Structure 1
Amino acid sequence: MSKLKVLIVDDEWNMRNLLRIYLMKEGFEIKEASTGKEALALVHVHLFDVIILDVMLPDMDGWQICRQIRERVNTPILFLSARTETRDKIKGLDIGADDYLTKPFDSEELLARLFSLIRRSVMNQTTPVQPARGLSFPDLIIIPEAREVRICDHPIEFTQKEFDLLATLAQNIQRAFTREELVERLWGYDFEGEARVVDTHIKNIREKMHISGLKYNPIQTVWGVGYKFNVCGDTHEK
């Protein structure tokens, strides 16, 4: 059985060495980068099972690196940072990261989170391939299997979490979700951030759809509960 491959991106040698010790004991194959350019170069030539990414790096910040990685691959990304502000956690998740853990950290928790991310990624990759079927609404088509959104017949780009959130609501049009339920579905039960991270994603989805020419708001706020999909007209599978 091949080893799980992890990329560690941190400019502090002591931190990379500590992570290397923890992860090698668990059988991981390790690659390291101390700068953003090194990290992006490695992502270009290697396939990783998970990426551990610091926020503060000498040439570019972790936010920029995360965005550029997401343009290429959907490898799970865990931010490991000394920045503990809730807004930093929300920003990291908003731009495409899958989890956020603050330093100092417990090694067992880090490993648990990494394996959780890898399991979810493997499950997504091994789902049986079926013909792509879309949910069709007025001027809006969502194709969950292809992770594609089209507005007025034009493809619209969404981050991983934005798409997951939109698809979850669109596939459950009779249900209103609380923020906590959406967090559990999209980030997992071990997510330690604020449930308000959902609000940030909803705002981004609405703005992108408005700019793209959609004439109605597809996500309805259910006061005192959370959110539900706003069905404008009849829906059918296409």
Structure 2
Amino acid sequence: MPRTILIADDDPHIRQLLAFALAKAGLESIEAGDGEAALQQAADQAPDLIILDINMPRMDGIEVCRRLRAGSDVPILFLSSRDDEIDRVLGIELGADDYVVKPFSPREVVARVMAILRRVGARPPAVESAAAPLGHGQLRLDPDGWQASWGEEPVALTVTEFGILRTLAAMPSKVFSRDAIIDRLHGPGFAITDRTIDSHVRNLRAKFAGVGANDVVETRAGVGYRLGNCGA
């Protein structure tokens, strides 16, 4: 069974970035945007490890850790924007298993998560090997480098935009419904609306239009999206 990681951080971009990185390593994730929600998710879902931001609304990570440690030995990896010895020592003394300072590399966080799971006797799944670049027509995607380009022109994409395009490019002949795209990005049951996917696709098209690409994503009315001709 895949291990489940609770990501507790008030920044949705960080949660999304870490969820994507953990999924690549074969780990499932659940999310919480504040301290109280983190405690509730920990009680309801019994995650195998918690990535816990120190600075969160409604209850900071220090207090969350203190309450968790009153009755649980779940592994905890702290995230913090404050890189000073007091925070570091306090986090470890409270019972945290490790500590990462923002800004961080998602790969570093995943490596630390896997190391903690090994230390506590869990058997983490094998890390995904380097992903092969994807190409179709003028479009090029480097999944490991999170880089997209059109011909020789780089195109800066958000995590979600890159995830959508990678999903389409991996199966260029397939039409993906919006629900299928959401499942590929976040897993089944993730609460996100069809309009959100449509908005990301509009942004994708606008960014590629800026480098002269007008056929990156094709709409199939009443069904969903597929990869366009991409200048092929």
Instruction: Supply the distance in 2 between the matched residues of 1:10 and 1:17 (Cα, whole angstroms).
Output: 10
Instruction: State the partner residue of 1:203.
Output: 202
Distance of 2:51 and 2:168 partners within structure 1:
33
- Equivalent AA in structure 1 for residue 129 of structure 2: P
Q: Give the match for residue 28 of structure 1.
A: 75
SS of residue matched to 1:47: strand
Contact 1:173–1:231 (8 Å) recurs in 2: no
Name the residue aligned to 1:162.
Answer: 161
Aligned to 2:100: 47
Give how far 1:214 is off. Answer: 2.5
What is the CA–CA distance in structure 2 between the aligned matches of 1:195 and 1:23, rounded to whole Å?
Answer: 39
Change (3 A) 1:129 1:193: closer
Please name the residue that 2:52 is paired with.
6
Gaps of 5+ in 2: 1-48, 89-98, 108-123
Give the residue type in structure 1 aligned to 2:134: G
Distance 1:72 1:157, change over 3 A: farther
- Tell me which residue corresponds to 1:146: 145
Q: Distance in 1 between matches of 2:217 and 2:152?
A: 19
Q: Please tell me whether residue 73 in structure 1 is matched to residue 105 in structure 2.
A: yes
**Equivalent residues of 2:161, 2:201 under 8 A apart:** yes
Secondary structure at the residue paired with 2:106? coil
Distance in 2 (CA, whole Å) between partners of 1:182 and 1:30 is: 30
Give the drift of 1:6.
2.5
Q: 2:100 is matched by which residue type in structure 1?
A: L
Go from structure 1 to structure 2 and tell me whether the alpha carbon gap of 1:126 and 1:74 turns closer, same or farther (over 3 Å shift): same
Residue identity in the other structure for 2:67: I
Whole-angstrom distance in 2 between the partners of 1:204 and 1:151 = 15
**Aligned to 1:221, what secondary structure does the other structure show?**
strand
Counterpart for residue 120 of structure 2:
none
1:233 to 1:5, Cα distance in 2 relative to 1, 3 A = closer
Q: Is the 8 A contact 2:133 2:140 kept in 1?
A: no
Distance 2:223 2:56 in 1: 40
Q: Is the 8 A contact 2:176 2:224 kept in 1?
A: yes
What amino acid maps onto 2:205 in structure 1?
A: R
Matches of 2:129 and 2:168, distance apart in 1: 22
**CA distance in structure 2 between the aligned counterparts of 1:20 and 1:205, rounded to whole angstroms:** 43
CA distance 1:27–1:133, shift in 2 (3 Å): same
- For 2:224 and 2:193, locate their aligned partners in 1 and report how far apart those are by CA, in whole Å: 14
1:133 partnered with 2:133? yes
Normalising by structure 1, what TM-score? 0.53
CA distance in 2 between partners of 1:165 and 1:225 (Å): 16
- How high is the TM-score relative to the length of structure 2? 0.54
Secondary structure in structure 2 of the residue aligned to 1:41:
coil
Alignment partner of 2:224 out of 209, 223, 226:
226
Aligned counterpart, 2:20: none
Cα distance, 1:9–1:233 mapped onto 2, change above 3 Å: same
Change in CA separation of 1:164 and 1:14 when aligned onto 2, cut-off 3 Å: closer
